[in-house]
Amino acid sequence: MYSEKVMDHFRNPRNVGEIEDADGIGEVGNARCGDIMKMYLKIEDGVIVDVKFKTFGCGSAIASSSMATELIKGKTIEEAMEVTNKAVAEALDGLPPIKMHCSLLAEQAIKAALYDYAKKNNVKIKGLENFNPVEDIHDHEHA
């Protein structure tokens, strides 16, 4: 059902945990739908120097979160903004069609954490001007 990469990131998720003095925290999804992702960012001089996540969800939700943290760690805010759900899914060697929303949730988690950072530090991030963390990815996807 899942690729080796997904199973690897599920088995040994990278960057699990919290950052106590995080500069940005984003939480997306909801328990009713069975997945919640929470992402913590440490940002110095516009660079994501550390990132951690916590996820409630299925195997692909955990693997997508893990992969998303890998893709943005050490990257600039601008580079992180370019990480799409497609990029997360591709980096995992693909996700089953019904699980694609997990990668979208991961993209949203990154953006929600960056949005939180921008708000707290009163900075503007290109692409987040009208950001509105999607409450329910499922409705969004399947409506």
Would you name the residues annotated as active-site residues?
33, 102
* 47 binds other proteins per the rule CB under 8 A: no
User: How many of the chain's residues bind other proteins (CB under 8 A)?
Assistant: 28
Residue 19: other Cβ atoms inside 10 A? 17
Task: Indicate which single residue of 98, 124, 129, 132 sits in contact with other proteins (rule: CB under 8 A).
Answer: 98
* Structure-derived torsion over alpha carbons of residues 47, 107, 6, 30, reported in degrees to the nearest 10: 120
Q: Which is nearer to other proteins, 42 or 99 (CB)?
A: 99
In whole angstroms, give the CA distance from residue 125 to residue 116.
Answer: 11
* 13 binds other proteins per the rule CB under 8 A: yes
Q: Which stretch binds other proteins (CB under 8 A): 24-32, 70-78, 82-90, 118-126?
A: 24-32
In whole angstroms, give the CA distance from residue 98 to residue 70.
Answer: 23
Length of the chain as a residue count:
143
* Radius of gyration from C-alpha coordinates of the chain: 14
- Judged by the rule CB under 8 A, the positions of this chain that interact with other proteins are 2, 7, 10-11, 13, 16, 18, 27, 31-38, 54-59, 61-62, 98-99, 138, 142
